[in-house]
Amino acid sequence: MLYRSVFREGLLAGQMIVVSGGGSGIGRCIAHELAALGAHVALIGRRVENLEKVAKEIAEDGGKGDFFACDIREEVRVKETVAEIVSRHGRIDGLVNNAGGQFPAPLEKISANGWQAVLNTNLMGGFLFARECYAQSMKGRGGAIVNIIADMWGGMPGMGHSGAARAGMLNFTETAAAEWAPVRVNAVAPGWIASSGLDTYPPAMQQMIRSLSEHVPLARIGREAEVSSAVVFLLSEAAAFVSGSCLRVDGGAPNARRHMPLAPRKPAAVYDGFHRAVTPKVLQD
């Protein structure tokens, strides 16, 4: 089986696209779809074994990709990594700023170090990688950047550090869209998505995770491929006049209101074109 993308074959042929956090979860799915559409994908992450595995999967499926070990929080290493990509491939046409991470904690329990660590990963790292891709390749020739943020509308109780960082990334997106044009800079905000990231949370959160669909108007949680297709659209020529925007992929969850409980309903139809998708353990029966 191959990736069942909704986009036309060869849509991204010849393009060089970087995907941070490409070794697992949503980033892995995005990398697969980009490669299936003809792009050469550069996978970025800290765990070489994960990157190597995804690069091997892409090659087995007939795609092209390589990988670069990089901690996006380290400015010098980011500069070196982007320089290496440009030296090897000549340019960078697109960047998917997907790397991120957080841990559950109420605000009063978050230390200064914990707060800074999450901001460094979800805000500083994305800024550094975008800045270097722009400065070293996209400036003067164009390109597209897609920043993956999160459903942080109205706050993010239990993960306030991540909410603050993601909100900052959205504002950065809007600013960069003005300062860096003609480079297009947009964001995608996933809601609750069935990806490997759900298995990183402690056992105490498992029941809550399994009940998330009850709070979504579309009566289910999303799939990685549904996020990936939004990213592909924003990278493609179809979005040639779209910049500074944020595309929500959340089933309408932020629009649900406590004063009007969601009535029982049939879950919306699923699009899952990712042939290598794996259901998170926490969602398995």
Mean pLDDT (whole number) for 170-187: 98
CA distance 262 to 143: 41
For the segment 79-125, what is each residue's pLDDT rounded down to a tens digit?
999 999 999 999 999 999 999 988 889 999 999 999 999 999 999 99
Q: What percent of the chain has pLDDT over 70?
A: 100
* Residue 285 scores a pLDDT above 80: no
The domains located in the chain, with CATH, are 16-254+277-283 (3.40.50.720)
Residue type for 1, please? M
CA distance 259 to 218: 18
Give the pTM: 0.96
CA distance 72 to 65: 19
pLDDT for res 14 = 95
* Residue 200 scores a pLDDT above 90: no
Residue type for 60, please? E
The three-point CA angle 5-9-10 to 5° equals 120
Q: Label residue 266 by pLDDT band (50, 70, 90).
A: very high
* Residue 247 scores a pLDDT above 80: yes
Contact 279, 194 (CB under 8 A): yes
Mean pLDDT (whole number) for 175-204: 93
Q: Of 278 and 1, which is predicted with more confidence?
A: 278
- In the numeric block, the tokens 């809601």 are attached to 191
Which H or E run contains 97?
A: strand 94-97
Q: How far, in Å, are 99, 114, 129, 146, 277 from residue 70 at the CA level? A: 11, 21, 10, 19, 25
* Residue 269 scores a pLDDT above 90: yes
Mean pLDDT (whole number) for 155-175: 96
pLDDT for res 208 = 87
pLDDT for res 107 = 96
